Amino acid sequence: MNHRGLVAIDSVTDAFGMSRGQLAQTIGVSREALHKVARVEAPRTQTRLREMLEIVSRVAAWAGGKEQAMAWYRAQPIAAFGGRTAEALVKDGRAAALRDYLDHLAQGGFA
């Protein structure tokens, strides 16, 4: 987060070894959304960034680290969501359902 409480794009891209274009694709926004200041600060962009970061940080411990958590986020199909990935769910605005699912798993529920 930067001093204004916004997700710092460069910190995220550095942490995950991604370009801004790759990050934009990962969160489901246009490339321009992460290159223009007004678009970076837009609520939709910031919400998607926060959702992605929250989910990746939730699974990092059991995934084996942040890199593995990002790999899971982007590629692992989740049976409970019809084989869709966490990335696809966040892009479709279903982060809350995914958080509920992760909470269920954390409490010992079945996948």
Q: What is the pLDDT of residues 53-104, one digit of tens each?
A: 999 999 999 899 999 999 999 999 999 999 999 999 999 999 999 999 999 9
For 76, residues 6+ apart whose C-beta sits below 8 A from its C-beta are 85, 86
pTM, two decimal places: 0.88
53: containing domain: 9-106
First CA to last CA across the chain, in angstroms? 32
**13 in any annotated domain:** yes
Per the structure, how many domains does the chain have?
Answer: 1
Report pLDDT for 6: 92
- Is residue 77 situated within a structural domain? yes
pLDDT above 70 coverage of the chain, percent:
99
Residue 2 has pLDDT above 90, yes or no: no
pLDDT over 90 (residue 10): yes
pLDDT number for residue 110: 75
Q: Where are the alpha helices (DSSP H) in the chain?
A: 9-16, 20-27, 37-40, 43-63, 66-75, 86-91, 95-106
Residue 3 is assigned to a structural domain of this protein: no
Q: How far apart are CA 11 and CA 16, in angstroms?
A: 9
pLDDT at position 108: 85
Inside any domain, residue 87: yes
Residue 2 placed within a domain? no
Question: Is residue 41 assigned to a domain?
Answer: yes
Residue 65: C-alpha distances to residues 15, 41, 74, 106 (Å): 12, 28, 14, 17
Domain presence at residue 48? yes
Average of per-residue pLDDT values in the chain: 93
Q: Has residue 111 been placed in a domain?
A: no
- For the stretch 33-55, pLDDT in tens is 999 989 999 999 999 999 999 99
